[in-house]
Structure 1
């Protein structure tokens, strides 16, 4: 059979079309599964893909169920996916973090913590979203080191780290892909402190692996979430963010206006949860999952009972 340039081009077009069709069908199927939760679920709760956010989603789902509001939890979504899900009404509520929401969803940096909630309600009003009472959990990014490593390097603040790198000291840094590229992530942080990690000293990895990498000495400094239970469990120290680069990330429930109209008691129920959460308590709950290896449903149930929210 003669092979011609036209034939090759035609095959490539056909193959490309088939691949596009398969991806489209797969995406539509996944969307259909996601968009239609189990029958009888009045409230569709969403969560992101890391321990803390899955846990607060589970707490919310269990508490709503206990109060007679059937709820279904869909967990494990990325930040942009869960945001789009609530805007498009594929979910009814989830817990978001104030600072990143202002920066990434509304391109509005520089809002003081005290004014974040009001500003978010103003900006998300046209989207039909309501930001309810915030918790006292400020789960911001932080730079963690093994205590002995920080001591031997003489590092206490991020400015100390910047000075060490500018002086030529080799310091390896582990971070996730999102922080590496996001607009309030690594590059702006380096600009704020006037330094830059050499490219070869940056190791990108999944967020959950960073803690192990720091603990095992695979990297010197790791990007962590400040309320993660592995920080005290592994005896890490956090470098002081002395220029206050990392914006407040206050964990706050976001709901649609429609679900509040259908179930107005949700406002008070979510306040029951948020008023019982602070950074130390959240770190303990996270540690129960990530260090003690308890299941997320079990930890959520234990929190609700110990907090007096359910019997």
Structure 2
């Protein structure tokens, strides 16, 4: 029989992602309905070490679920990487009476709670919150859809000025080691070329396309930041192949992380928040809540180390529209 959960600690860690606040709201709503106390842990693992806990209620979170970012704050924690830091965190968990954890973040967050599990029997369920959509065990992660919509809108705006001046723009989007944002924002904005980490040969197709390019139409290149070539290198190669092109480049940066979450990200946060708490109640631990083929699934943290990357179908779309 699963141990009865009486007090859950919940935190957000790593990079912020739109939809985190919706997940917080849903988790607290579910816990409250089951008579479970919830404490918010501020600034991720740093808050565990500093015992920076606050009480959370559904009323306060309902008013913030539509906001981007995270009301609990987030931070990287070098101290938690040490065994001493993790022991202090565990002492604070016991001291506060927390007997279950919900961690919202990416693969680094799940590695962190896995390290805590090595010295503790505190059950933990993770919720994937990262705009890169690079987490195995779920089709989509919190923040991805919102980031794509932001990037797409920016590229649409860039196209307006590019068309007016007959310019080529190289637009860099986020995606540390994953091309999901690049593929989705590039295809949906009608980009002429998409360069992603998973397909390094795409640069050759781009350079071949622009050798004799002298059209009055805009030419949009979407570049994932994880592409090893980099913005400066790609720009220099374009100029080498065709120095007649009026070339500009734009790095969208952290604007993709901000803004109110889309309806899809809010709904994803709600579903995963509810699932995470229910999983703790049912005795599950060291697993991530996700959605595959629109079905709720749990994936052990041990399998999250593998990266969710672009599949053949998406690559074929890039080839069809951009090669």
TM-score range, shorter chain: 0.3 to 0.5
Which one has a larger percent helix, Structure 1 or Structure 2?
Answer: 1
